[in-house]
Amino acid sequence: MHAFHRPTDTARPELLDLLRRTDGDPGRRILFTGATVVTMDPTLGTLATGDLLVAGSTVAAVGTDLRARGDAAGAVVVDASGTILVPGFVDTHRHAWQGQLRRFIPDVDDLAGYVGATLARYAPVYRPEDMYTGTRLAALGAVDAGITTMLDFSHNSRTAAHSDAAVQALVDSGIRGIHAAMGPHFGDWDRQWPADLGRLVDRFGGGSGLVTFRLAALATAEIAGPALAFGPGLARVAAELGVGVSVDAVFGRASSAAVLDWEREGLLGDGLTLIHATGLTGEAWRAIGASGTRVSLAPTSEAQIGLEDAVPAVDEALAAGVRPGLGIDVEVALANDMFTQMRALHAIQRMRAVHAVHAARGVHAARAGRAADAVRGADGPPDRITTADVLDFATRQGAATVGLGATIGTLTPGKQADVLMITADEINNLPLNDPIGTVVLGADARNIDTVLIAGRVRKWAGRLLDVDLTALRAEVAASRDHVHRAAAAATGDRG
């Protein structure tokens, strides 16, 4: 065995060189030893001190002492003491093409403000190269923050070239990407979608194996007209291609009526994911839960931008028997990491649960009654969710939400080795008392020491690999400046 010391040891450059030379070798084995292993597998649980063996692209074994295993012979051994191993986070919904517009509207107040500023003003002037730059930047930022899988809800597919650029950006970033294709809301486009999705599957489906596809749509015709609204026609396209469907802008009574229409048409089910699902009726939630339809929440988006009632629908989902995945949504106004999503949801739901208890007791009824009434179908006030719940949403449930539950989401032998090594002995995390609590409430992107995706090293010793930051900065700035100038010219805005 090639033995090396814990992550901060000076031997790490030699170890990295060895790992990089053997990346992609199906016979290469890596043995992480002495870590706290949070498998997120209900059967395997959490090992206070354990080992993880990676063989090629998969998890081979999890246990308390794996050095004696025959398949560990010749493994590269990484002393991971002082760290926590967890599955990679899964972002179930992000509009990645907007990467170069990060935080340009940090205080946007509502959906209309976002739509007007981003989809109506900037989206129409994007070139294919801008799609590539924004998407790659978002994907690299995701990997840096421990997100190993990202569903890119790519709703600016103006031409086939725009789509090709977005998919190529996912491939080049090394992330496990799901390209969910949709036509643009506004402006001129080639009307090649949804037919062009088949060409994308044929062209990119065999590549690295890390990029897969879904069809993307809106819930109703309210925002952009009937062509983008999910229904039997788009469901047939997805079924013929064998891909799942992600539906955005699922809000309020209009979307509730749409959900019931989909139920009657037989369109609900495990291959369908509804994004946001805020302000839905009890009947809509009954249909969602009964059919096994998936739900993706974007906690900071719903609360900060104010989508429908501005309350992430976690209680409604849980009351209907649905465990949701989590997503980032839009970097134009929001944080781009999963730690923020977990903490926001954890805090908001627990506040809401307390308000519901107070309402049930007749305390602060006017203030808390809305929260209690909103949890339709629950038997009394909701229980408070835990840090284990939100980590489950960010990993195992996220994988199921994007159709990859059998492939990723837990550190289970046989699944793909999408692994995070999080430092637990740095100033913000030490001493390690509760590993799940530390991941959810203590850690942040600085603690993501190592990222493996399908067994390949993508981040090492806190540094993202294969990224020329100087060149990336110049590319991103040039693209941002172009879209600003082009949008101003198109609207006659001299400011």
pLDDT level of residue 371 (50, 70, 90 thresholds): very low
pTM of the shown model = 0.94
In this prediction, residues 276-301 reach a mean pLDDT of 98
CA distance 237 to 197: 9
* Residue 213 reports pLDDT greater than 60: yes
H/E element, 473 = helix 469-491
In this prediction, residues 352-381 reach a mean pLDDT of 62
Q: First vs last Cα of the chain: how many Å apart?
A: 63
Secondary structure class of 325 (helix, strand, coil) = strand
pLDDT level of residue 137 (50, 70, 90 thresholds): very high
Q: Mean of the per-residue pLDDT values for the chain?
A: 93
Residue 31 near residue 67 (C-beta atoms within 8 A): yes
Interval 109-132: pLDDT, tens: 999 999 999 999 999 999 999 999
Strand ranges for 319-362 from DSSP E: 325-326
CA distances to 58, 85, 420 from 447, in Å: 23, 12, 10
Interval 41-90: pLDDT, tens: 999 999 999 999 999 999 999 999 999 888 888 999 999 999 999 999 99
Say what the pLDDT of residue 374 is. Answer: 47
Interval 24-45: pLDDT, tens: 889 999 999 999 999 999 999 9
- Domains, the chain, with CATH or none: 2-87+418-463 (2.30.40.10), 89-401 (3.20.20.140)
Say what the pLDDT of residue 151 is. Answer: 98
Interval 374-427: pLDDT, tens: 454 446 778 999 999 999 999 999 999 999 999 999 999 999 999 999 999 999
The dihedrals phi and psi of 429, each to the nearest 5 degrees, come to: -120, -25
Query: pLDDT > 90: what percent of the chain?
Result: 85
In this prediction, residues 462-482 reach a mean pLDDT of 97
* Residue 207 reports pLDDT greater than 80: no
User: Torsion over CA of 262, 265, 268 and 273, rounded to 10 degrees?
Assistant: -50
